Amino acid sequence: MTAADDPAPTPQPRSEDIDVFGITDTGRVRNYNNDHFLICSLNKCVRVHATSLPEPGRLPSEGEPMAFLGLVADGVGGHETGGDASRLATETLYDYVANSLRCYYTTDPHQEVAFLSTLHDAVMQVHARVLEEGDSRGFPGGMATTLTLVLTSWPRAYVVQVGDSRCYQLRGGDLTCITRDQTIAQSLYDAGALTRSEADRSSMKHVLTSAIGGGEGSAASPVTSVLDLAWGDVLMLCSDGLPRHVEDEEIRGVLRAGGSAESACRRLIGMALERGGEDNVTVLVGRTRGAPKHE
């Protein structure tokens, strides 16, 4: 294939092309919600404080988003410790992104290793902050939470996971779970000590091997991934309250059905609730609307 035969690059989606939604529910059993989530866009921002130019309101002040961030944090333990841990983790990461993160580096593929290192460091700072808060409040077992995030900067998505909240990607009708649960049951399955069905039924299925915060000596082991994005892809984040009741094939069916991100989130939450809603459940879905628009 010659350079003249190369297909035209897929245009970057604009704000109006992005459909994203998130929702969380306490469930049918618990009377508190330890889950927290965040969806935000990152913009280059120019603020005009004074000018001699006429009609300063016509000057661009934000422009198109450079990146989108979504995260799910599922607090571990009782209401006071788990809910506070997931809230603190979400707030701390937001502060880091708002004040420190330079997502513009991701436009250069040669900077991806450094950028992933930056995301890893951000998560470790969140871990340290939750540990510090647990110590200061005198919780014997500390405060702990999962944390799974995806930052998209077209045409890449950067995923970081600690714990067992998941990230999925749907492309062309095929659903892939990008993350791997950091649980004892998953580790035993990986080691060949349990079959897949045994691991799925194991009491160790929800016992974490890695978490944000926790007691003294607890470790956070962030796992990072880089995804190529294509127009029509669907990304989904969820807490473990969803796969507890809804199989991956059913998730695939809902995401393949089309419709809005909101309708997909509400349908998946509804399925979890219909089947008992034994845990808090949180779902975030992001997708592009329509077909690529070439200039």
| Residue 102: band (very low, low, confident or very high) from pLDDT cuts 50, 70, 90 | low
Q: Looking at 86-100, 243-257, 262-276, which range is the least confident one? A: 86-100
Q: Looking at 75-89, 108-122, 191-205, 241-255, which range is the least confident one? A: 108-122
The per-residue pLDDT for range 34-60, each reduced to its tens digit, is 999 999 988 766 666 666 567 655 555
Task: Find, among 160, 166, 265, the residue nearest to 206 by Cα.
Answer: 166
Mean pLDDT (whole number) for 106-132: 83
Amino acid at site 240: D
- Domains annotated on the chain, with CATH: 63-288 (3.60.40.10)
Report CA dihedral (245, 89, 224, 15) to the nearest 10 degrees: 80
